[in-house]
Amino acid sequence: NAGVTQTPKFQVLKTGQSMTLQCAQDMNHEYMSWYRQDPGMGLRLIHYSVGAGITDQGEVPNGYNVSRSTTEDFPLRLLSAAPSQTSVYFCASRRPGPGETQYFGPGTRLLVL
């Protein structure tokens, strides 16, 4: 199993550009999430999904869109990048239910100029 994979590893954008951060998992996990990590802020939830076709907003959803057309994939879209979106983005997945830990991808470092 590859686990949770993310691409790209690093990206530089100009303000106003759009891009999609890719996330895939091969563990057949129903739950998938996107977090951003900023210095001193811990991990903050952007969007999450509890299954194909179902998504919902987390703590900091503004400026981001998601979709979940398959169990495996959960892309995160930035429609018009802003410098405030400079961060490290982590995708995660888990099975539902108690006792299930969360598995993280390696992260995407995004710099918006």
Partner 1 sequence: EDKVVQSPLSLVVHEGDTVTLNCSYEVTNFRSLLWYKQEKKAPTFLFMLTSSGIEKKSGRLSSILDKKELFSILNITATQTGDSAIYLCAVDQTGANNLFFGTGTRLTVIP
Residues contributing to the site for partner 1 (CB under 8 A): 4, 31, 33, 35, 40-45, 48, 50, 56, 58, 90, 96, 98-99, 101-107
Nearest to 55 by CA among 69, 35, 72: 69
What minimum distance in Å lies between the beta carbon of 98 and partner 1?
A: 6
Residue among 26 and 80 whose Cβ is closer to partner 1: 26
Alpha-carbon span 93 to 3, nearest angstrom: 9
Nearest to 32 by CA among 97, 102, 79: 102
What minimum distance in Å lies between the beta carbon of 99 and partner 1?
A: 7
